[in-house]
């Protein structure tokens, strides 16, 4: 026998796509499990030609689903960002888009009792050690609804709206909503100098800087940013300096090696008109409350991450943050804001209270759609399933 079959499901969640595996079908956490996962995706290889990976950070994603470990939850979910060119799986971050698919998956697989018209799925996420709440639309026959009129920029067609509340994830990566306890900090970046930044940790840890402070208008396309290697190098140095400051990595130079996905870097700017990269549609300045571009896995995010959506919305409610500073005037008194991103506009609703000593996040939501694309078996080469005599040393 040259390969081993492992049951899998491929799902789209929002603007991302992931391979779903059951916890019991793969080895326990550690090098042996990662070898199997890398073989499933075909990494490391730029095209991921020998596996299920899509050769793009947004399609090289993993969801591991297990039984509930925490009281009051329906299942346990571990997210993995599978590197394309390196033999690594990053478990430090969480994908909000794929989290929508987790809710859909839970209903379809019978991991939660289906209730028409909406089923609440409570998920314990191991990446942040936090609980997510996902509202999944359900048909009368108990199956998750897929057809609907909700449209997401960056995804063809429309689908049934899935609502996610990430308010419970505040401080999951660093221990605090504001990792530095400040709304704005000044960081020193090698080869550049000082730059102001806002650190906010909900969904994932984020660093927000003004687009203008790195020489950008903020409405640039993904191709324009990714085509400037000097700019990409600078943005990664900023991310590294920030990550080191909040204790996520040991040194600013170690950002790619120690935490390539998070903190996510957001480049924010005031409302402005621009052309959506994927569709060519003109986005008017009046349609958005701010414009943002994300740096994810050392490239520009083609749309806008779900965790970044809630984090940007929450940051907009923090007095003096750079996100609040670039907000359009009309957004000051609204709980919902519209974020302009490369593919269009996304809306988030946030309720954040100040209790006299700290901010408390009461609500942090965004909406997605999801679809089950394929289920079956992925065949893993036998050698990937065999633990070597020094497997426990592979990560050292």
Number of structural domains in the chain = 2
Tell me phi and psi for residue 352, to 5 degrees: -130, 125
CA distance 18 to 53: 8
Do 349 and 377 reside in the same domain of the chain? Answer: no
From residue 129, alpha-carbon distances to 7, 144, 169, 320 in Å are 26, 26, 8, 29
Residues 279 and 148 in one domain: no
Reading phi first (left if > 0) and then psi (alpha if -120 to 50, else beta), residue 284 is in: beta
237 shares a domain with 157? no
On whether both 210 and 319 belong to a single domain, the answer is yes
> What gap in Å lies between CA 282 and CA 153, rounded to an integer?
13
Q: Are residues 106 and 244 in the same domain?
A: no
Its domain, for residue 118, covers 3-161+371-393
- Between 321 and 391, the more confident residue is 321
- Whether residues 12 and 137 share a domain: the answer is yes
Cβ contacts of 223 within 8 Å, gap of 6 or more: 277
State the average pLDDT over residues 283-309.
95
The pTM score is 0.86
Instruction: Decide: 218 and 272 in contact? Cβ < 8 Å.
Output: yes
pLDDT of 238-268, one tens digit each? 999 999 999 999 999 999 999 999 999 999 9
In a domain, 167, yes or no: no
Q: 1 or 82, which is more confident?
A: 82
Residue 174 lies in a domain: no
Rounded distance, CA 83 to CA 106, Å? 26
Confirm if 79 and 62 have CB atoms less than 8 A apart.
Answer: yes
Is the domain of 120 the same as that of 22?
A: yes
| Confidence band of 13 (pLDDT split at 50, 70, 90) | very high
> Do 94 and 195 share a structural domain?
no
pLDDT above 80 for 125: yes
Asked if the structure places residue 252 within a domain, the reply is yes
Q: Are strands 299-300 and 193-202 parallel, antiparallel or unpaired?
A: unpaired
Q: Is-cis flag, bond preceding 117, omega within 30?
A: yes
Of residues 162, 160, 16, the one with CA closest to residue 94: 16
| DSSP states along 6-19 | EEEEEEEETTEEEE
**Inside any domain, residue 56:** yes
- Tell whether 294 is covered by a domain: yes
The verdict on 157 and 252 lying in the same domain is no
Q: What is the pLDDT of residues 304-346, one digit of tens each?
A: 999 999 999 999 999 999 999 999 878 877 889 999 999 999 9
Q: Any residues with CB less than 8 A from the CB of 88 and at least 6 apart, and which?
A: 34, 82, 260
Tell me whether residue 169 is in a domain. no
Does some domain include residue 173? Answer: no
How do residues 101-111 score in pLDDT, each as one tens digit?
999 999 999 99
Kindly state whether residues 350 and 385 are assigned to the same domain.
no
Query: Is the pLDDT score of 196 beyond 80?
Result: yes
**What pLDDT sits at residue 185?**
98
Q: What local confidence, expressed as pLDDT, does residue 393 receive?
A: 37
Chain-wide mean pLDDT for the chain?
A: 94
Measured CA to CA, the distance from residue 273 to residue 178 in angstroms comes to 31
Phi-psi region of 98 (alpha: psi -120 to 50; beta: other; left: phi over 0): alpha
Residue 250: how many other CB atoms lie within 10 Å: 12
8 within a domain of the structure (yes/no): yes
The DSSP letter of residue 229 is H
User: What CATH number did the domain enclosing 125 receive?
Assistant: 3.10.310.10
Question: Which segments of the chain does DSSP mark as H helices, in order?
Answer: 31-41, 96-108, 222-226, 229-245, 255-258, 306-315, 322-326, 382-385
pLDDT (mean) for 28-41: 96
Same domain, 69 and 45: yes
Q: Is 191 exposed, middle or buried (0-12, 13-18, 19+ CB in 10 A)?
A: exposed
Q: How confident is the model at residue 396 (pLDDT cuts 50, 70, 90)?
A: very low
Task: Determine the average pLDDT of the residues in 183-202.
Answer: 97
Q: Same structural domain for residues 120 and 193? A: no
């Amino acid at each position: 026998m040259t390969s081993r079959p492992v049951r899998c499901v491929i799902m789209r969640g929002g603007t991302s796509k992931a391979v779903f595996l059951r916890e019991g079908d793969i080895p326990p956490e550690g090098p042996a499990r990662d070898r199997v996962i890398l073989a499933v995706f075909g990494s490391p290889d730029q095209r991921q030609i020998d596996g299920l990976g899509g050769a793009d950070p947004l399609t090289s994603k993993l969801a591991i689903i297990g039984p509930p470990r925490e009281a009051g939850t329906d299942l346990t979910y571990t997210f993995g960002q599978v590197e394309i060119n390196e033999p690594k799986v990053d478990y430090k971050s969480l994908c909000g888009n794929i989290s929508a698919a987790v809710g859909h998956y839970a209903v379809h697989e019978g991991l939660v009792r289906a209730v028409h018209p909406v089923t609440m799925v409570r998920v314990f996420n191991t990446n942040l050690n936090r609980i997510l709440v996902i509202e999944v639309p359900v048909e009368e026959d108990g199956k998750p609804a897929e057809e609907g009129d909700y449209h997401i920029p960056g995804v063809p067609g429309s689908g049934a709206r899935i609502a996610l509340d990430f308010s419970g994830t505040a401080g999951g990566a660093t221990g605090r909503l504001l990792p530095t306890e400040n709304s704005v900090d000044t960081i020193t970046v090698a080869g550049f100098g000082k730059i102001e930044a806002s650190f906010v940790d909900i969904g994932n840890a984020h660093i927000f800087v003004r687009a203008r402070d790195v020489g950008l208008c903020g409405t640039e396309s993904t191709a324009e940013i990714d085509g400037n290697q000097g700019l990409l190098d600078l943005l990664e140095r900023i991310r590294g300096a920030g990550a080191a400051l909040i204790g996520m990595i040991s040194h600013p130079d170690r950002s790619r090696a120690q935490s390539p996905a998070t903190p996510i870097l957001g480049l924010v700017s005031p409302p402005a008109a621009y052309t959506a990269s994927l569709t060519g549609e003109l986005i008017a300045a009046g349609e958005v409350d701010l414009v943002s571009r994300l740096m994810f896995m050392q490239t520009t995010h083609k749309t806008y991450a779900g965790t970044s959506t809630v984090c940007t919305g929450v940051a907009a409610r923090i007095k003096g943050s750079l996100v609040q500073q670039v907000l359009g005037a009309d957004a000051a008194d609204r709980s919902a804001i519209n974020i302009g991103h490369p593919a269009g506009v996304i809306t988030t609703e946030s309720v954040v209270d100040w209790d006299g000593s700290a901010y408390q996040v009461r609500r942090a939501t965004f909406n997605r759609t999801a679809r089950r694309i394929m289920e079956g078996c992925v065949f893993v080469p036998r050698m990937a399933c065999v633990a070597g005599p020094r497997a426990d040393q592979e990560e050292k």
